């Protein structure tokens, strides 16, 4: 992928997180990406819709790459990796000052009922995110209570983080996410087996 194409994708991701899909125009993307005109844009993308699909995939890949460093660190116990992953989501939001938000949530709320291709692509992203976390919880099965359901718990974690990210974006306050992340980690701990103390 060329540097210019990545530049357009990153500019579009920022705008979609800030303004949403419908309120973001091709002209907005051209200006944010520093392109010389529409012909430049259409050289890389056939349409705004095609760009939107690629933004979703790229943002998920970036999040997965960043999170994977923590999630795959086998020097840490699985639940410690999960806590580190949650912290990485909080850190990412803090870096942009609570202004960017997640393009997944923005696009899912705005486009799922209007465009089936967007709905399917976003659903695929959330399934992938949930599957990564479920795999970690499956690895930690001996640390979880008997009634803990890794699949349901993974979906809950994803839904909580995504909702908290959207709240932080709306309030333009990254501390919203950090507070919810702390509560989420406390909730996860209620699904852990209690260790016997001497």
Q: How far apart are CA 176 and CA 173, in angstroms?
A: 6
The CB density around residue 99, as the number of other CB atoms within 10 Å, is 14
Would you place residue 198 in the very low, low, confident or very high pLDDT band (cuts 50, 70, 90)?
very low
Q: Looking at domain 46-189, which CATH architecture does it have?
A: Orthogonal Bundle (1.10)
CA distances (Å), origin 29, targets 37, 73, 95, 151, 167: 10, 37, 22, 38, 24
Longest Cα pair distance anywhere in the chain, in angstroms? 72
Count of positions (residues) in the chain:
198
What does the domain layout of the chain look like in residue ranges? 46-189
> Kindly report the CA angle at 94 between 91 and 99, in degrees rounded to 5?
135
Q: What confidence score (pLDDT) does residue 180 get?
A: 94
Instruction: Please determine, for residue 46, whether its predicted confidence score (pLDDT) is greater than 70.
Output: yes
- Of the candidates 101, 73, 64, 82, the one whose C-alpha atom is nearest the C-alpha of residue 176 is 101
Q: What confidence score (pLDDT) does residue 31 get?
A: 95
DSSP secondary structure, 84-125, as one string: HHHHHHHHHHHHTTT-S--HHHHHHHHHTTT-HHHHHHHHHH
Average pLDDT score over residue span 11-28: 87
Task: Give the lowest-confidence range in 51-60, 106-115, 148-157.
Answer: 106-115
Q: What confidence score (pLDDT) does residue 117 get?
A: 78
Would you place residue 35 in the very low, low, confident or very high pLDDT band (cuts 50, 70, 90)?
very high
Maximum average pLDDT range among 4-18, 109-123, 157-171, 176-190? 176-190
Instruction: Please determine, for residue 93, whether its predicted confidence score (pLDDT) is greater than 80.
Output: no
User: DSSP E strands: which ranges in 32-180?
Assistant: none
Q: At what angle do helices 103-111 and 150-171 cross, to 10 degrees?
A: 90
Task: Give the lowest-confidence range in 85-99, 101-115, 170-184.
Answer: 101-115
pTM passes above 0.85: no
Greater model confidence, 122 or 109:
122
Rounded to the nearest integer, the mean pLDDT of the chain is 83
Q: How far apart are CA 4 and CA 178, in angstroms?
A: 34
Q: Give tens-digit pLDDT for 94-120.
A: 776 555 555 556 666 676 666 777 778
CA distances (Å), origin 74, targets 108, 139, 166, 185: 33, 11, 31, 20
Average pLDDT score over residue span 141-154: 94
């Amino acid at each position: 992928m060329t540097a210019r194409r990545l530049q357009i994708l990153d500019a579009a991701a920022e705008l979609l997180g800030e303004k949403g899909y419908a309120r973001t125009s091709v002209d907005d993307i051209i200006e944010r990406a520093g392109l010389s005109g529409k012909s430049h844009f259409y050289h890389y993308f056939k349409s705004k819709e095609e760009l939107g699909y690629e933004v979703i995939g790229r943002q998920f890949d970036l999040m997965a790459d960043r999170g994977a460093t923590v999630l795959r660190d086998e020097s840490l116990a699985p639940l410690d990796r999960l806590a580190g992953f949650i912290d990485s989501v909080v850190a990412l939001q803090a870096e942009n000052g609570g202004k960017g938000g997640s393009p997944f949530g923005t696009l899912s709320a705005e486009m799922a009922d209007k465009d089936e291709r967007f709905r399917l692509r976003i659903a695929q992203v959330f399934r992938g995110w949930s599957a990564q976390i479920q795999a970690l919880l499956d690895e930690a099965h001996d640390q979880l209570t008997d009634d803990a359901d890794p699949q349901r718990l993974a979906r809950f974690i994803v839904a909580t983080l995504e909702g908290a990210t959207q709240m932080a974006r709306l309030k333009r306050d990254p501390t919203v996410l950090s507070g919810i992340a702390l509560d989420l980690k406390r909730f996860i701990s209620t699904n852990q087996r209690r260790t016997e103390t001497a």
